[in-house]
Structure 1
Amino acid sequence: MPDLPLSPGSSIGILGGGQLGRMLSQAASRLGFDVVILDPEDNSPAGRVSRGQIVAAYDNETALDVMGRVCDVVTFEFENVPASSVERLARAGALVAPGPMALAVAQDRVSEKTYLNAVGATTVDFAAVDDLEGLRAALDVIGLPALLKTRREGYDGKGQVWIRRKGDARRAWEAIGARPAILEARADFERELSIIAARGRDGAVGLYPPGENVHEGGILRTTTAPATLSPAVSRRARAIAEAVLDGLDYVGVMGIELFALKGGRLLVNEIAPRVHNTGHWTQDGCACDQFEQHIRAIAGWPLGSFEAQARVEMTNLLGPEVEQWRTASGEAGACVHLYGKGEARAGRKMGHINRVLGPARQARAR
């Protein structure tokens, strides 16, 4: 096992070559680390800004053995990494962070919600669903409307469908591919918030000011941060983050999505054991952004500052919207971040724009 903290010149491996891997690699390079990407797509966005890329499937044993030997620490840009891959990397000699417990919890939505409630991070009511009859029985308990999601995989609105009448159960079950699922009660929320938090190898926990999110069609459209929150809600958000990260003995950055209900109550929607889309605002709103924070944590360095230096609105550029770089690049206060992807398919995340709205404001009641 490598000595910690890692010295500059050490190698960090990243499973995944998309935009999150790209921005993690850029942050690691700024700190003097060499980065190796493992991704099945040749010439991936992350691979093009890294020391090298291994082109192979995430469960390719030879590729994992090579990465485990040449990298001191390995992390990932998405949570659906096969558990066997993490185990093989560890056997090859690399530290893997976040660890297997966080992956196991986040990869299964029933396990995730069960864990969250166990540590006091309350969620909506839910029920596991294994078949159509089980779905109908769950609807009697959860009520309508309810959201049916696949237990595994699915993101940006994929693998989920609303059920508003009990007679729609069969259609919904077929729409998600008749796979093991979770049925979730509707949350009567006023706002969607998110926490970007980090935990170091020494157990230190920090979090950026929460952001307020707007989704369209299940895909994040904007995040504005810092969000305006009362001191009581801010304290509750911190308590949630600390409970979730400490309970998993977590190392790295995590995204925690929240529903803010009337009266200031917070429910956890889901967690993501990685850097997160709702944390992109930190690139232009903080001295140490979420990508550098993650690299610091997994490398055993002290965590950086979480203080917001500016208020920022982050807007995702989906598909053809990437062409907005032409006007935004000349807009005062607009910071353009493009991901180096090829085809601008509808709904595909091609980049984002951080618009600096002014100095960060102190949280206030709303």
Structure 2
Amino acid sequence: MSGKTILPGTTGTAATAGSGQQTTLGVMGGGQLGRMFVQAAQAMGYFTAVLDPDVISPAGLVSHYHIQSDYLDQQGLAQLMQRCAAITTEFENVPAPALVTLGAHRPVAPGAEAVGIAQDRIKEKAHFVRCGVPVAPYAVIESAAQLAAVADDLLPGILKTARLGYDGKGQLRVSSRAELAAAWDELKNVACVLEKMLPLQAECSVIVARGWDGSCVNFAPQLNLHRDGILAVTQAYEGNMPSALVQQAVEATKSIANELRYVGVLCVEFFLLQDDSKAAQTLGSLIVNEMAPRPHNSGHYTLDACDLSQFDLQVRTLTGLPLLQPRQHSPAIMLNLLGDLWIDGASPPWDQVLALPGAHLHLYGKLKASKGRKMGHLTFTGATVAEVRATALAAARLLGIEAF
């Protein structure tokens, strides 16, 4: 952006999409992450535009402008560029060529190169290795010859498609060479990565925000619990992880962002290995799993527990506004609210849930619930970890969510 800052309000500069126009920020994608970005941008005085093909997308419903088109539609991209001073994305599978087109005319953060790496597990693993961050032993499988050459000590393992996998999709566990071959056939012989299964103690994530000038701030690591490949619970408070691992995770995440010359909000997920495992003795206690070039489900608690949320930082990185180290003022536990809670047609008992102290309910405006679909989240804050944990567990009981 050549040091330019995009301020909210009416502007007459060409860099902000036309003479006399209200400063507008664009987002590719209309899901809940886009919705929360839009709300953060609007709170700071920006207009917003969403490009998404879904007429009832959560972000499109609350934005000033909704451009209903495919992500590669040239007319739709032209409309977005015409309206917007700068453009971001809310999910990693936005086609990288669309970001290349947009980036030729407007500031785009994150850029096409970073998003392209995050879209491909093969490129992503290679990037982690270049950064010196430990990864699980793995093999690339793009051909029958590579399948046959897989080392025996990578089994049992998890076969993951190189592209378009999320929330546990495109992943199969295999324990033998026969199962590996069958799994690759089931995945239609697309490019895959086989990762060795390791004894895990826990999962965590780190969210950083990096500006155009290379400045970088971070949230403390979140401790995460996944069920059926979907995030279920995030616990964010001081002492949720040993301090040495906290520092290691933050430094690794910043290294990953800096090596990419990344601009925007980036989340990196890690596995914590069991301390007594052979893998931990060889690799260290912390290994990187994957990265997401956007705000992340595990960071939603920042809306209620921090003085700056991950979406505030997404707006600041995009517009070149100052990045300040966010401060968490309350311990927090977040519960994901999946469509399973609505399957029987009845609405969850929100009156009872909201009677609990420190409850913050966020529903995403999705009109149809389905099993495993993220419909909202519920964050609890309080003065102490014990207090927050007790109320979060009480809410889980009311909602029929498994205890943690």
Q: Normalised by the size of structure 1, how large is the TM-score?
A: 0.93
| 1:210 has 2:210 as partner | no
Over residues 133-183 of structure 1, what are the superposed CA-to-partner deviations in whole Å (9 max), with x where a residue is unaligned? 532422x25521100011001110101100012221232113323211111
The verdict on how the C-alpha distance between 1:235 and 1:101 changes in structure 2, with shifts beyond 3 A counting, is: same
**Structure 1 CA distance, aligned partners of 2:340 and 2:241?**
34
Q: Does 1:44 align with 2:57?
A: yes
Which string of whole-angstrom CA distances, capped at 9 and with x for unpartnered residues, describes residues 195-244 of structure 1? Answer: 01111122111111111111111111000002522332122112102211
- 1:190 CA displacement: 1.1
- Which residue matches 1:321? 341
- Say whether the 8 Å CA contact 1:38–1:54 is kept in structure 2: yes
Q: What's the counterpart of residue 74 of structure 1?
A: 87
Cα deviations across residues 237-260 of structure 1 (Å, max 9, x unaligned)? 121022111111111111110111
Asked whether the 8 Å contact 1:132–1:169 carries over to 2, the reply is no
Q: Is the 8 A contact 1:257 1:269 kept in 2?
A: yes
**Counterpart contact for 1:35–1:51, Cα < 8 Å:** yes
SS of residue paired to 1:67: helix
Flag the structure with higher strand content: 1
Separation in structure 2 between the aligned mates of residue 360 and residue 255 of structure 1, nearest angstrom:
24
Q: Does 1:285 align with 2:305?
A: yes
The question of whether the paired residues in 1 share the 8 Å contact of 2:138 and 2:154 is answered with no
Indicate the larger mover: 300-309 or 34-43: 300-309
For residue 269 of structure 1, report the CA deviation from its aligned partner: 0.4
- For the pair 1:336 / 2:374, whether they are aligned, the reply is no
Checking the alignment, whether the CA contact within 8 Å between 1:125 and 1:142 is kept in structure 2 is: no
Where does residue 177 of structure 1 map in the other structure?
188
- Within the alignment, does 1:27 sit opposite 2:40 as a pair? yes
Are residue 355 (structure 1) and residue 380 (structure 2) matched? yes
Number of the residue aligned with 1:260: 272
Question: Which structure's CA Rg is the greater one?
Answer: 2
Cα distance, 1:360 vs structure 2? 7.2
| AA matched with 1:178 | N
For residues 341-360 of structure 1, the C-alpha deviation after alignment (integer angstroms, 9 at most, x for no partner) is 01100100000000114357
Q: Is the 8 A contact 1:146 1:185 kept in 2?
A: yes
The whole-number CA distance in structure 2 between the counterparts of 1:214 and 1:33 is 35
Deviation for aligned residue 1:335 = 0.5
Distance 1:62-1:212 versus aligned 2 partners, 3 A rule: same
Whether 2:186 is the aligned partner of 1:164: answer no
Q: Secondary structure at the match of 1:47?
A: helix
Partners in 1 of 2:200 and 2:38 — Cα distance? 36
Deviation string for 1:65-90 (max 9, x for gaps)? Answer: 11112111100001112121112112
Distance 1:297 1:173, change over 3 A: same
User: Kindly, what percent of the aligned residue pairs are identical?
Assistant: 38
CA contact (8 A) 1:285 1:312 kept: yes
Structure 1 residues 29 and 297, CA gap change in structure 2 (3 angstroms): same
Cross-structure match for 1:364: none
The question of whether the paired residues in 1 share the 8 Å contact of 2:154 and 2:194 is answered with no
The answer on whether the counterparts of 2:97 and 2:112 sit within 8 Å (CA) in structure 1 is: no
SS in 1 for 2:58: coil
Note the 1:113-262 alignment, pairs <5 A. 113-138=125-150, 140-226=151-237, 228-262=240-274
Compute the displacement of 1:262 (Å): 3.6
CA RMSD of aligned residues (A): 1.8
8 Å CA contact retained: 2:103, 2:111: no
Amino acid at match of 2:213: D
Counterpart for residue 8 of structure 2: 8
Count of residues in Structure 1 that have an aligned counterpart in Structure 2: 359
Paired letter, 2:244: A
Range with greater deviation from structure 2 (328-337 or 318-327):
318-327
Q: Deviations over 1:35-79 (max 9, x none)?
A: 100000013110111111000000001110111121111000011
Q: List alignment gaps of at least 5 residues for structure 2.
A: 10-22, 276-283, 387-404
Amino acid at match of 2:272: A
2:3, 2:213 within 8 Å by CA — same for their partners in 1? no
Normalised to the residue count of structure 2, the TM-score between the two structures is 0.85
